[in-house]
Amino acid sequence: MKKLLIIRKAILVITLLLILFPAVLLSQMNPTIDKTTIDKTINKTAKLLNENYVFPDAAKKMGEHIKTKLAAGGYYAITDPFAFCDTLTADLQSVSKDKHIRVRYNPEEIKRMKEAEKDGHNDELEKQNLENLKKDNYGFKKVERLSGNIGYVDFRQFAPAEYSKETVASVMEFLSHTDAIIFDIRKNGGGSPDGVQLICSYLFGKTSVHLNDIYTRPNDETEEYWTLSRLDGEKMPDIPVYVLTSGFTFSGAEEFAYNLKNLKRATIIGEVTGGGANPGGMVPINDWFGVFIPTGRAINPYTKTNWEGTGVQPDVVISADKALDQAQILALNKIISSKKDEQEKKQLEWYLSSLQGVINSPEITEDILKSYSGTYADRFITYNNGRLYYQRKPRDKFEMTPMGDDTFMFRDIQYFRVKFEKDESGKVTGLTGLYDDGHNDKSKRIEK
């Protein structure tokens, strides 16, 4: 049993890649499978689950379920290996309700995994996978400073700490000078527990904080995860933190949100997450298939449970597409309350009112939007595919975001807004440019 854990640690990056990057090229080869392959795959899958799945009773039920279906000939009509994987995965999940369990067809990756299993490692494969992690920037998609000095990070996975620590340090250094931080994990499918531990460690003080525990069945041990005392950079225990979630947020990303929520270190904003708290690894079944087997379960030291099957419940429930705006609203309110300079407060309140207008904006009909399209002195408003665009030549064109029926903001020009003017009949006669310092300018509409 311990051998399986050693192998899993050696091929952790392989697991991430198998989950996140399907074998697209294989689908072009039109491979097929026969009854003998199906028999061997079902029986070996049942055996591996019985030996390693974190819940023995559920493992037994899954094995019995797929064997019973096999005996009735339930899989023999399938010749496409990808369809077979989908069917077998659905059958296993129907019993366990565990979304981590999945079967994959990828002979090339399985071959490499078996080589790693035999030798304990595979230098060539590890090098290739490390290069892929680098190309993906260890999961970090975007790091920027939003209006109001709010730090924003969009990242898609928690890469292993030993590989990602330098990149994480540079990201956290950038964030250390902000007045609030928004972590966007709406498209984050999880990753390494120590990757979660690393990022969490920057958000607490010098005293070590207990984050999470993971029990693993094969070695019957529980590993504790605490914040790290030594980091490449400053700790930020006092900066307000907001975490954005969606139904896609899963596994390690859920742990990140769950840890911070229960330690009251962050406000979680968005949708209920996917509900996968049982970590594990991809294990070869044979030369064609591998199965991700959850060998462990998370145990939060404070709730004594986890988010398996339920997901992480947000503190502020809102659709995922509006979560960023809502997080900025909450952050700006908090930042404004801490400021003493009245001019600075007014500017922050301008940004705040823009976001509040967007969150509460009514639906604007296509006819109304099109009625605004036209020429206003040297300003041009165009309509395209349900959106309005503003341009003041020779400058760039910017998408307009409605705050109300006649007032629009610009996400890319925070200091500026446009308000359309109408006569008593409702005809659009001009527009007024509004600025965050209080002044405005008017442009009459030029009739064709």
123 pLDDT above the threshold of 90: no
Helix (H), strand (E) at residue 215: strand 210-216
Single-letter code of the amino acid located at 63 = G
Q: Which backbone phi and psi does 61 adopt, to 5 degrees?
A: -65, -40
CA–CA separation, 349 and 354 (whole Å): 9
User: β-strand 374-376 against 440-446: which pairing, if any?
Assistant: antiparallel
The reply to whether 351 falls in a domain is no
59 and 149 together in one domain: no
pLDDT, tens digit (0-9, with 9 covering 90-100), for 394-445: 889 999 999 999 999 998 888 999 999 999 999 999 999 999 988 999 999 9
166 and 259 together in one domain: yes
Number of domains in the chain: 3
CA–CA separation, 155 and 142 (whole Å): 7
pLDDT band with cut points at 50, 70 and 90 for residue 237 = very high
155 and 215 together in one domain: yes
319 and 370 together in one domain: no
Tell me the pLDDT of the chain averaged across its residues.
91
Q: What is the DSSP string of 8-22?
A: HHHTHHHHHHHHHS-
Instruction: Give the domain extent around 6.
Output: 2-119
CA–CA separation, 100 and 386 (whole Å): 39
Give me the CATH number covering residue 369: 2.40.128.50
pTM of the model: 0.86
DSSP state of 323: H
DSSP state of 191: B
The reply to whether 133 falls in a domain is no
pLDDT, tens digit (0-9, with 9 covering 90-100), for 334-345: 999 999 999 899
15 pLDDT above the threshold of 60: no
228 and 376 together in one domain: no
The reply to whether 393 falls in a domain is yes
153 and 17 together in one domain: no
User: β-strand 428-435 against 440-446: which pairing, if any?
Assistant: antiparallel
11 and 73 together in one domain: yes
Give me the CATH number covering residue 177: 3.90.226.10
Strand ranges inside 217-276, DSSP E: 221-226, 241-245, 267-270
CA–CA separation, 164 and 218 (whole Å): 28
